[in-house]
Chain A
Amino acid sequence: MTMHRAIAKTAAETRLAEQFSALRGAAPSLWRDAAFRRFEEAGLPTRRVEAWHYTDLRAALASAAPLAKAPDAAAIEAARRSLASLARAGGTRLVVLDGRFVAALSDAPPAGVAVVPSAPEAPTFSDVDAMLALNVALTLGGCAITIEPGRRAPLIEIVHCFSAGAPEAVYSRLAIALGVGARASFFERFVGTGPGAQRHVSTWISLAPDAKAAHVASIEDGAGLHVESQVANLAERAELDAFGFVCGGGLVRRQVFATLAGEEARIALDGLALIDGRRHADTTLEVVHAAPRGQSRELFKHIVADEGIGVFQGKVIVRPGAQKTDGAMKSQAILLSPHAAMNNKPELEILADDVVCGHGATVGALDPEQVFYLQARGLPRNEAEAMLLEAFGAEAIARVAEPELAEILLSMTRAWLARRAGAAPT
Chain B
Amino acid sequence: MLEIKNLSVEIKGKPILDGLNLSVATGEVAALMGPNGSGKSTLSYVIAGKPDYVVTSGEIRLDGENILELEPDARAARGVFLAFQYPIEIPGVATMTFLKASLNAQRRARGEADLTTPDFMRTVRGAAQNLKIDPDMLKRPLNVGFSGGEKKRMEVLQMTLLAPRLAVLDETDSGLDIDALRIVAEGVNALRDPKRSFLVITHYQRLLEYIKPDVVHVMAKGRIVKSGGPELALELERNGYRDYASEAA
Residues of A within 8 A of B (CB): 368-370, 372-381, 383-384, 387-388, 390-392, 394-395, 426
Instruction: Please measure, in the bound complex, the distance between the C-alpha atom of A373 and the C-alpha atom of B95, giving whole angstroms.
Output: 13
- For A372, A373, A377, the residue with the greatest tally of chain B CB atoms inside 10 Å of its CB is A377
Q: Which of B129-184 contact A (CB under 8 A)?
A: 141, 158, 162
Instruction: Please measure, in the bound complex, the distance between the C-alpha atom of A375 and the C-alpha atom of B162, giving whole angstroms.
Output: 13
A381 B73 Cβ-Cβ under 8 A: yes
Q: Which of B66-118 contact A (CB under 8 A)?
A: 71-73, 75-77, 81-82, 84, 87-88, 90-93, 98, 101-103, 105-106, 109
| Closest residue on chain A to residue B72 by CB atoms | A375
Q: Which residues on A sit within 8 Å (CB–CB) of B106?
A: 377-378
A377 B102 Cβ-Cβ under 8 A: yes
Q: Which residues on A sit within 8 Å (CB–CB) of B98?
A: 374, 377, 387
Instruction: Please measure, in the bound complex, the distance between the C-alpha atom of A158 and the C-alpha atom of B52, giving whole angstroms.
Output: 50
B87 A391 Cβ-Cβ under 8 A: no
Q: Which residues on B sit within 8 Å (CB–CB) of A392?
A: 92
Q: With A387-B93, A391-B93 given, is the CB distance from A379 to B102 under 8 Å? A: yes
- For B71, B102, B158, the residue with the greatest tally of chain A CB atoms inside 10 Å of its CB is B102
Instruction: Please measure, in the bound complex, the distance between the C-alpha atom of A379 and the C-alpha atom of B75, giving whole angstroms.
Output: 11
B88 A378 Cβ-Cβ under 8 A: no
Residues of B within 8 A of A (CB): 48-52, 71-73, 75-77, 81-82, 84, 87-88, 90-93, 98, 101-103, 105-106, 109, 141, 158, 162
| Closest residue on chain A to residue B109 by CB atoms | A378
Q: Which of B76, B88, B90 meets A391, CB within 8 Å? A: B90
Q: With A375-B72, A387-B93, A388-B93 given, is the CB distance from A380 to B50 under 8 Å? A: no
Q: From DSSP, what is the main secondary structure of chain A's interface residues? A: helix
Q: With A378-B77, A378-B105, A381-B71 given, is the CB distance from A391 to B92 under 8 Å? A: yes
Given contacts A372-B48, A394-B92, 5 further A-B contacts (CB under 8 A): A373-B88, A376-B84, A380-B73, A383-B101, A391-B92
A368 B90 Cβ-Cβ under 8 A: no
17 contacts between A and B (CB under 8 A): A368-B52, A372-B51, A373-B84, A375-B72, A376-B50, A376-B76, A377-B98, A377-B102, A378-B77, A379-B101, A379-B105, A380-B73, A381-B71, A387-B101, A391-B90, A392-B92, A394-B92
Give chain A nearest CB distance to B109 CB in angstroms. 7
